[in-house]
Structure 1
């Protein structure tokens, strides 16, 4: 009896110390030899580690579960939970069905992870069936399950169902409020999201992050930064990786370099883990704000500790290309391959864009061929880049043939690039033909009317150009005003033509008038000294 107790204790210690699947398999083999593999706590520990550990093997856990003479509900839940985080979440549904066929009843810990899998699969039919099963088994008001249902409906962009469930729930907690807030934020309904946010008596980092991300998704980047500032001012929640990724995205779109640098300093000061996603966001922010040197610094810092992935390489390659470092972006692509990272469709998109800006037609054809050879089916964006490459290089006839031979229908962006190429290289007849097709294809796009009107104006057909403007007015299409954004003392300022809404507009126009007058007076003179006097 003493020997048996000692054996049980020793094997229990061995299982608890397992850090990898090879160790677990060796211990499991010993348990099978001793006839203890189905005994508790050995069975639960083996299932838990193999299904849920980051170094586990959920397939091994599933096979072991099926061999047990009386598999526990805990074991089924472990496997379903492990599969819900895997690359193939649809397998959770198959295991659930097998669980039911074998006569095992799901409990309140089964459904949340099934609903999580449904959310990842974006399968409304499966989600609706699972909701029905929840009702049939009597768990319709379980708080954990209800929160998972709200999250699932939010993933489906079915905010009506999510809100209905939220309103009917007899009990709510912070997770419930965060779930409905996130549901609105995901689809860009920031008005409803803000109403929920303002109605919350308690908030955590998830609440603030959802609100920031919602504003970013809806393109309201200034509002996103204002919410982040409020979060910092309140001091009740410490920003995490998710928050900072959204904030950096807002800075990138606003071109707010100083603000982005301040966010970078915050990350370092608070010692937030510099994950691959966070480093990638920093690279993207610096590149879009014009500081390619800082972007390169972040990238090199990640490469030095071997913490890179294909997204980070793509961000750096794209950043170099957008700043005119065409040769460097292509060299980095070769370095990426040497580092044994396989390029994806985004990589090729960045490279084709680089070739377009650099006029590298031969290299573009080579890359487009490699894309097809790699087994990745070219998307419309890749075809659009090739059209842009050929059009910019003045090979408009080749571009036209390329469009005609494509296996997909041409998009507005492709034809728009082609028209611009025709205009720039004097082929106005072809530009007019395709421009008319563009107006038919996108009758609500103001740029298509303006583009065709420009073709007529260049060709001195001013009556036809005027008719395009009139057609816009008749159809209620308004030209989107172009705008400029500058950053001063960390704050972005937006201007459009003849803008007088800025609080310093009177001073701005006074200085502009003074500059214009000074230039008129000195148009034929060397006025460098006068200019320095004015600036001082």
Structure 2
């Protein structure tokens, strides 16, 4: 019962902890089982708390305890905790255990401490495939793709995990073309992609607008007999939407069993519809989502706010923005930016400016850029000057900000100030690049 509750996706890890607390002198196996369960749960910090409780109960950890502890520490991404766990392992003499060493590499990589990860890796007398993969993944997570590639080239044996980690690393670093090149190399050597690989490749296609390549990925899945899992369907929808193939995105979405779906796939479809101006359809999907019983999250509301901004639905935008707080969510910079965009597009630029002034966070250039566009489009030139100056202050090395303010003065026919703004740009050594307008 304890093992089922702790490790099964149908189980209740907190119930397992209660069962453990009622056992008389529980064996290390039971402690490890619950620590392992918490390490995979939404509260990995409870693995650490339970470990401390175990030590206080006089139970000594064994070689199976520490990998679960390292996993929890890696998920929490706290370097100080990772170092403390490593010190505890060294104290108990398990540092030479191969499985534990692999766990330490992964833990440090997840915490962004690639130097410590490499120290553990280099100190291993014997390295397994998982050791190389953990080191590669650590470099990739830290954005050190040259080192990740070096490890990849030195690997005595590569598997789908190795290829996937490298591809995902390039995607995370924004080098989408290289990610696709690596995938082609992977295919050439006959290594079969898995779900993780394909999610990364579809993400690269989405950012590049490579629709044909994305379609080819779907054919690849079918040819290889791969199941269209929920993450893959979500990635396909996102790719199709970002590539402008909204009809194909809808075909994939409508092929999903809604009662087996999750919030991610609904977010992808709502966001895709919003991106292409299908405002009504986006809002209708939100209603359907709630009927099915899917709880919206911050990303859902971001898509809805974007839809409202594109459709000029200011009242609806306010409703969704306020709904965030009512549902216990804290609006992020992106939510505020969408709200500013909605007000600015609708010509309510004074309200947008007041909204920005009352925000609990500093305005971003994109927010002020949206407001400046709204001011220019709706003839609010006095406010445009204020916003233009703020943009120059915020990004003094951005040529477009000076051009934008200069354009405002030119519309006012305040030629001296327009010239002074251009001269300030030259004095500060800011170069004018072709193609910039007053907003990006």
TM-score (norm. length: structure 2): 0.93
Taking a change above 3 Å as real, the CA distance of residues 456 and 200 of structure 1, as seen in their structure-2 partners, is: farther
Q: Does structure 1 retain, via aligned residues, the 8 Å contact 2:211–2:243?
A: yes
Matched, 1:357 2:301: no
Q: Structure 1 residues 173 and 389 mapped into 2: Cα distance closer, same or farther (>3 Å)? A: same
- Separation in structure 1 between the aligned mates of residue 2 and residue 294 of structure 2, nearest angstrom: 34
Q: How many Å separate the matches in 2 of 1:90 and 1:167? A: 29
Superimposed CA distance per residue, residues 314-337 of structure 1 (whole angstroms, 9 cap, x where no aligned partner): 111111111111111111111111
Match of 1:6 in 2: none
- CA deviation vs aligned residue, 1:333-379 (integer Å, no higher than 9, x gap): 11111112222111111111111111111221222232232222222
Secondary structure in 2 matching 1:215: helix
Alpha-carbon distance, 1:129 to partner: 0.8
Partner of 1:493: none
Whole-angstrom distance in 2 between the partners of 1:129 and 1:100: 14
Give the CA deviation at 1:382: 1.4
Q: 1:228 & 1:278 partners in 2: Cα distance?
A: 16
Q: How many residues are treated as equivalent by the alignment?
A: 436
**Equivalent-residue separation in structure 2 for 1:473 and 1:89 (angstroms):** 54
Question: Measured at CA, do residues 136 and 207 of structure 1 come closer, stay the same or move farther in structure 2, by a change above 3 Å?
Answer: same
- Which shows bigger deviation, 286-295 or 408-417? 408-417
Once the two structures are superposed, the pairs formed by residues 382-421 of structure 1 within 5 Å of their partners are 382-421=335-374
SS at match of 2:374: helix
Counterpart secondary structure, 1:302: coil
Residue 247, structure 1, aligned to residue 201, structure 2: yes
Q: How does 1:72-471 map to 2 (within 5 A)?
A: 72-235=27-190, 237-303=191-257, 306-461=259-414, 464-465=417-418, 468=421, 471=424
TM-score, structure 1 as length reference: 0.77
**Distance in structure 2 (CA, Å) of the matches to 1:379 and 1:332:** 23
Residues 140 and 165 in structure 2, CA contact (< 8 A), matched pair in contact too: yes
- State the distance in 1 between where 2:433 and 2:20 align: 61
* 3-state SS of 1:362 partner: helix
Per-residue displacement from partner, 1:32-52 (whole Å, max 9, x unpaired)? xxxxxxxxxxxxxx4433322
Taking a change above 3 Å as real, the CA distance of residues 366 and 134 of structure 1, as seen in their structure-2 partners, is: same
In structure 1, distance between residues paired with 2:227 and 2:47 = 32
Deviation string, structure 1 residues 386-435 (Cα, Å, up to 9, x no partner): 11111111111121222223333322222121111111222222112121
1:63-122 CA distances to partner (integer Å, 9 max, x unpaired)? Answer: 333333342222221111111111111111111112111222111111011010011111
The question of whether the paired residues in 1 share the 8 Å contact of 2:71 and 2:103 is answered with yes
- Return closer, same or farther for 1:446/1:343 CA change in 2, 3 Å cut-off: farther
Partner of residue 11, structure 2: 56
- 1:444, distance to aligned residue in structure 2 (A): 3.7
Counterpart of 2:58 in 1: which secondary structure? coil
- Inter-partner Cα distance in structure 1 for 2:128 and 2:11: 32
Q: Which moved more, 1:472-481 or 1:314-323?
A: 472-481
Q: CA RMSD in A?
A: 2.1
Q: In 2, Cα distance between the equivalents of 1:81 and 1:59?
A: 12
Q: Is this contact kept in 1: 2:77–2:112, CA < 8 A?
A: no
In structure 1, list runs of 5 or more residues that go unmatched.
Answer: 1-45, 484-536
Distance in 2 of aligned mates of 1:203 and 1:416:
47
Q: Using the alignment, how far apart are the partners of 2:34 and 2:377 within structure 1?
A: 61
Instruction: Describe the shift of the 1:252–1:91 C-alpha distance in structure 2 as closer, same or farther (beyond 3 A).
Output: same
How far residue 213 of structure 1 moved from its aligned partner, in angstroms, is 0.7
Cα distance between partner residues in 2 of 1:318 and 1:127: 37
* Alpha-carbon offset, residue 307 of structure 1: 2.9
Q: For residues 86 and 260 of structure 2, what CA distance do their matches in structure 1 show?
A: 41
